[in-house]
Amino acid sequence: MTILYEDNHIIAVNKTCSEIVQADKTQDKPLSDMLKDYLKEKYNKPGNVFIGVPHRLDRPTSGIVLFAKTSKALSRLTEMFRKHGEIRKTYWAITEIKAIPQQATLENYLFRNEAQNKTYIVEQNHKDAKLAILDYKIISSSDRYQLLEIQLHTGRHHQIRAQLANIGCPIKGDLKYGSKRSNPDGGICLHARAIDFIHPVSKQQIHIEAPTPNTPIWNIFNTHIK
């Protein structure tokens, strides 16, 4: 767990692909509990520590997760994440090389199969279909892979994973959505790279970036984009 930003109301963490945001059936210790322990020790707090979770990242995804340290910040951040445009999230994804436009907007209707924990591209008239929109651009390439920068306009379940797979660009390591092989660390090459928003309490403009995982494939692209 790496702290990227902290003030009196919010705290941001660079999540690894092995960490979970909130408790689940695995019973692994979640980041929310790790942060409570961190704050309790750092500030020598004798009682309970408050940590609110206004959004989440899939377990195999790395990058920025924003937490609230006060109930005021939690309620405001939760509303901001719900509204379009108030929080700008930038993702990076490594996919196999594919002949696609240098940049484009993807619009699809998605259906989430909860039993499979998987999202499918469907027709607009499909029952429970939800519109998903994202922008991507290719920002670097190697012999076998390409690095895409992604801006979300909607926040659907597995949206980036499903929409990129639909254009023939499954994310490296993402077996669920068509990648040919898994990654050594068990994660996928999808990284919540940056977040931009107006602070829910101070009203200052906040920009936070998360370094990419220290793995050979990410390090190749880190060298290319410098």
Express each pLDDT in 59-76 by its tens digit. Answer: 999 999 999 999 999 999
Top pLDDT among 170 and 98 is at 170
How much is the pLDDT for 22?
83
CA distance 109 to 47: 47
Domain residue ranges of the chain, discontinuous segments joined by +: 2-225
Mean pLDDT of the chain: 93
How is domain 2-225 classified at the CATH fold level?
Pseudouridine synthase (3.30.2350)
Spatial CA neighbour of 200 closest among 92, 25, 55: 55
- In angstroms, the CA 206 to CA 87 distance is 10
- pLDDT for residue 48: 87
Is the pLDDT at 186 greater than 60, yes or no? yes
Q: For residue range 96-119, what is the model confidence (pLDDT) as tens digits?
A: 898 999 999 999 999 999 999 999
The CA distance from 1 to 207, in Å, is 19
C-alpha count within 13 angstroms, C-beta hemisphere, residue 4: 21
Which pLDDT does position 11 carry in this prediction? 98
**Is residue 27 over pLDDT 90?**
no
pLDDT of residue 136: 98
Quick check: 42 and 36 in contact, CB under 8 A? no
